[in-house]
Amino acid sequence: HGGANEEAQKMAEEVGKPENAEAYVRDRLARKEKIFGFGHAVYTTMDPRATVLKQLCKDLGERRNQPKWYEIFSALEETTFEQKGLYPNVDLYAAGVYHMLGIPTDLMTPIFALARMVGWTAHVREQYANNRIIRPGSEYVGPRDRRYVPVDER
C-alpha cells in the first residue's frame, strides 16, 4: 500500500468524468503504465474489502451529492476488467471514500497505515508475550548483495 490509494485518486481526477475512463485506461496500458487500485497478490477475484468500500463509496457519493467519484471509479473498474482482466483492490474505492470524507490525497496512505497500527501493535505485544518473533510466510528471492545508492544520487 505504498501510495496506491493516493495514485488511484489522482487517476480519478485525471479521468475527470466516467466517459473518459475507457480511453484513459487504454492509453495507460498502451504506454505500459500501471492502473492503480487493481490486482492483488492473494485475491484472484474482487478483493472483499473493495466490495465493501465500493458500496460505501456509492452511498457516500449519494449522501454528499458527489456521485461523480463513484461513477468514475466504477467506470475505471469496468474498463480495466474488460481490457486487462484485473479486479479492484482495497485502494481503488478507498480513495473515493477518503476523498469524499475530505481527507487530503497526500494523507490517504498515512491514514491507511494508522488503521493498521492496532494490528501491528497486537503483533508486537504477542511477540513480547511469547518471546518469539512472528515471521512472514515468505522468502525474499530478489537480487542480493546490491550496493546502496543514496536517494539524492539516484
In whole angstroms, give the CA distance from residue 118 to residue 65. Answer: 33
Q: Active-site residue 40, yes or no?
A: yes
Q: Note whether 92 and 35 are within 8 A (CB).
A: no
Q: Which of 1, 27, 40, 123 is catalytic?
A: 40
Of the residues 91, 99, 106, 123, only one is catalytic, namely 91
Active-site annotation holds for 91: yes
Active site residues: 40, 91
